[in-house]
Amino acid sequence: MLAVYNSLSGEGKREFETAYSASYYPCMDILYECYEDVASASEIRSVEKDGLPAFPRGKFDQTRIWKVGERVRKARPSGDLGPLYPFTAGVCVALMMA
């Protein structure tokens, strides 16, 4: 978290802080609900009850999004992770920390 934050400009840090602060508690609420559902086994019951007939899953590495990602990563220079967007980083870090 600190490495991401420290890599940002002053304006980027302010944007990160705004996004992080706005996202942390909503993310924590959602994750808490997920953990409660898993702990009570209601999560698995709903999956078994509903199944996923409308959205069958195959192997993830054969999906379109995975294949597009492979092409993008191959075209990117080694070590280049692409741009760091402060708002997106703030939301993602808030989710990880929650």
- What is the per-residue pLDDT across 41-69, written as a single tens digit (0 to 9) for each? 887 777 677 666 666 667 888 889 999 99
Domain coordinates of the chain in residue numbers?
Answer: 1-53+85-98
Q: Which tokens hold the place of 20?
A: 């992080």
d(CA 88, CA 27): 14
CB of 89 within 8 A of CB of 13? no
Distance CA 86, CA 15 (A): 6
Q: Does the model's pTM come out above 0.85?
A: no
Residue 25 scores a pLDDT above 80? yes
CA atoms in the 13 A half-sphere facing the CB of 23: 18
Q: Which contiguous run of DSSP H or E holds residue 13?
A: helix 10-40
